[in-house]
Structure 1
Amino acid sequence: MTKSDSKARTRGMRRLAGIALSLMLGAGALTACGSGGETIAADAKTGNRKIRIAAPFISTMNSAVLYAQGNGIFAKHNIETEFVEVHGAAGLQATLGGSTDMAITSSVNPVAALEQGQEFPIIAQIGNGFPESVLITAAAWKESGLKDDSPLKDKMKFLAGKAWGVSSPQGSSSYMARYMFQLAGLSGDDFKMNSMGSASGTLAGLKSEKVVAGSMGSPYPQVAEAEGYAKLFINVSGGEVPELTNTLTSVVAVTPDFYKNNKELVADFRKALGEAQKLVYEKSAEVDEWIYKNHFDGSPKEAVLAGVKDQRDGAAIAKQPEVSAESAERLVAFMKATGQPVPDDWRKIFVDLAG
């Protein structure tokens, strides 16, 4: 590939990212009701402050926040939570418009929004490694002739030009795929993305063989493998790709007004989340059992447990709400490597780094 080809591809990716963010933020501005930044008062009877959190599909990556909600940890800090399912960058749109108070979103989205002139303070981390792993159809696995420990270069070469399902074109798995092609010495143009709308859509595409590959968070790859129609191909969340570890991937973001008007609530949210994150690692068997029974009952249990174990082994699930400078810098390096614009003042949106 020539240097001019590389520059042209980078410019094209930046244009696409800019267009996507402009559309997203424009839609958010149209729906904004002025309620996204109000002070949340405690309920007179319960003393709880109710917050609505935009979140993607249920994943073991979100074990801590789910466990905190279901086991009274948020309630102990006088917080009542309601999750609203929102995919991709739309979580920021919902928060900007006032439909939700916080958004669990891919970390690239608030940084990209800052480039477009819209700030979303990042108040906590959920993922510190890529939650998605790559799976392929059972037929493609047989065709590949590869092994679990085959080099990344060989695996990515096999996937070049093949239909690859993702939940959202703005999601972290889309950029992750492009980055892995780059790590393998291939072109980002080899990534043939198919937006399937959700993890279930990607799984349906794999079952029907409309797509050859898909990337999504655990435990879905492990469950698909257990059910026999797909194979876990690249265990990213388990640490198979070192360049993608210790990288900030999933965060909790709010609007500037919400952060300014709810400092005590944000502090209490971080305390509660931190308690749950600690339990995910120190009482893993107890937490995993609860997550399985309450969110994945009916799926192959061993597959679900294997999925969350992979994420812990790769340290993909954040261990504390505070964002480290190193993980944020690795995020920025990842974004720049995949042609995503990063403003020089990116640190300003991280409450743990801004000072």
Structure 2
Amino acid sequence: MKKSWRKKLLPFLCLFLLAAASGCEGTKKEGRQKVRLAEVTRSIFYAPLYASIEKGFFQKHGIDVELKTVWGGDKTMTALITGGADIALVGAETSIYVYAQGSEDPVINFAQLTQTDGTFLVSREKMDRFSWEQLKGKTFLGQRKGGMPQMVGEFVLKKNGIDPHKDLNLLQNVDFANIPNAFASGTGDFVQLFEPQASLFELEGIGHIVASFGAESGKVPYTCFMAKSSYMKNNKDIIEKFTAALYEGQKWVYESSAEEVAKAIQPYFEDTELSVIEMVVDRYRSQKTYAENPLLDEEEWKNLQDIMEEAGELPKRIDIGELVDPSFAEKAMKE
């Protein structure tokens, strides 16, 4: 683990140990149990979650979701381990970082939301025939070092014969929120972007989508729902209901039209045109970015650690049984 993660997490470990003994018990409201959910960012990437809320699947299973966007993996994990949230939606790699600190109450992944990377390679110039070789010698505006987007980005570049630190002028000093603005103002020949920004740039003529990092990297537990081991032990029924509701949302997203999905989740993206939301949903569905069920399997877990290891960010290999509990997903899928 890099020092940046150590510095961010260490100040909260004492608070974590104090909070570990007591689960954040769900409170009942009108016969339903409240679950405080912290999401790492607000993104169409998470459409099945928002659909599950808007279509009433959580309420149907007796849960009221109190959703809060925390903006950042370190902040989301801090909210979880210090008792500010019951469940977190964040990259599975964060559970590995916490575990490597020697936690007595590890954070356990129990349901998967996205199963591929959600970023796209955007070129400033239109390319009718793109090849990865065309990146050599160019300025590449990448994502934050140590985060999953950048780790997957480097993994895909190496897979295609590109050494990101030798063959490119790699820029990683721009904050996540400012990357689109930096590219729009003229920085970089290529940029790695999430949706809907990639599609918006294409519509506005600022850039052109030439490749998908998700399609290139294969399946990986990119974003998962996780909770402290103590919370899961004390609130097994909540985790079961939460996972069952999520699975209904995942199925609904794939069984419904892109237009229906876009209309359902539009309240979460009021500043984005419905047609753009629909286009992004269709693109993510076509490459199976949204997990079709909540089960995180061993192959995906291995792929995650391979990507982290390749990037030099893996503290140590951890068996899937240590940080993943598939029983809730398996039960939801059976029922």
Q: Which amino acid aligns with 1:185?
A: G
- Contact kept, 8 Å, 1:107 with 1:250, in 2: the verdict is yes
Match of 2:191 among 211, 214, 233: 214
1:214–1:196: structure 2 CA closer, same or farther, 3 Å change rule? farther
**Cα separation, 1, equivalents of 2:82 and 2:121:** 33
1:236 equivalenced with 2:210 (yes/no)? no
Structure 1: which 5+ residue stretches go unaligned?
A: 1-16
Once residues 305 and 211 of structure 2 are traced to their aligned partners in structure 1, the CA distance between those partners, rounded to angstroms, is: 23
CA RMSD, 1 decimal: 2.5
Whether the 8 Å CA contact 2:49–2:246 is kept in 1: the answer is yes
1:202 maps to what in 2?
179
Alignment check: 8 A CA contact 1:95 1:103 kept: yes
| Greater alpha carbon shift after TM alignment, 222-231 vs 336-345 | 336-345
CA offsets 1:222-245 (integer angstroms, 9 cap, x no match): 1222122222232234x2x2xx12
Contact 1:89 1:171 in 2 (8 A): no
| 1:127 corresponds to | 114
Following superposition, the deviation at residue 28 of structure 1 comes to 2.5
1:157 is matched with 136
Equivalent residue number for residue 327 of structure 1:
300
Secondary structure of the corresponding residue to residue 234 of structure 1: strand
Q: Sort the Cα spacing of 1:33 and 1:98 in 2 relative to 1 into closer, same or farther, 3 A.
A: farther
- Matched residue, 2:325: 351
Encode CA deviations 1:275-303: one digit per residue, 9 max, x unaligned. Answer: 00000101133222322x32334434433
Summarize the alignment of residues 24-35 of structure 1 with structure 2, pairs less than 5 Å apart: 24-29=8-13, 31-32=15-16, 34-35=18-19
Task: State how many pairs are aligned.
Answer: 320
Instruction: Kindly state the Cα deviation for residue 254 of structure 1 after the two structures are TM-superposed.
Output: 1.3
Secondary structure at 1:203 match in 2: helix
- 1:183, distance to aligned residue in structure 2 (A): 1.6
Length-normalised TM-score, structure 1? 0.81
Deviates more, 1:298-307 or 1:90-99: 298-307
CA distance in 2, matches of 1:28, 1:156: 41
Select the residue among 223, 238, 241 that pairs with 1:265: 238
Q: Deviations over 1:316-352 (max 9, x none)?
A: 1111111122222222222222223253433110102
**1:95: which partner in 2?**
80
CA contact (8 A) 1:112 1:340 kept: no
* Aligned pairs (5 A) from 1:277-288: 277-285=250-258, 286-288=260-262
| Aligned equivalents of 1:80, 1:61: Cα separation in 2 | 22
**Which residue of 30, 33, 50 corresponds with 1:49?**
33
Q: Is the 8 A contact 1:179 1:188 kept in 2?
A: no
Q: Which amino acid aligns with 1:180?
A: V
Tell me if the contact between 1:88 and 1:170 (Cα under 8 Å) persists in the aligned partners: no
- Distance (whole Å) between structure 1 residues aligned to residue 174 and residue 147 of structure 2: 10
Alignment-derived partner of residue 333 in structure 2: none
Q: Given that residues 141 and 190 in structure 2 are in contact (C-alpha distance below 8 angstroms), is that contact kept between their aligned partners in structure 1?
A: yes
Partner of 2:161: 185
TM-score, with structure 2 as normaliser: 0.86
**Could you tell me how far 1:314 is from its partner in structure 2?**
1.1
- Over the matched positions of the two proteins, sequence identity in percent amounts to 19
1:82 corresponds to: 66
**Quick check: 249-258 or 110-119, which moved more?**
110-119
Confirm whether residue 18 of structure 1 aligns to residue 18 of structure 2. no
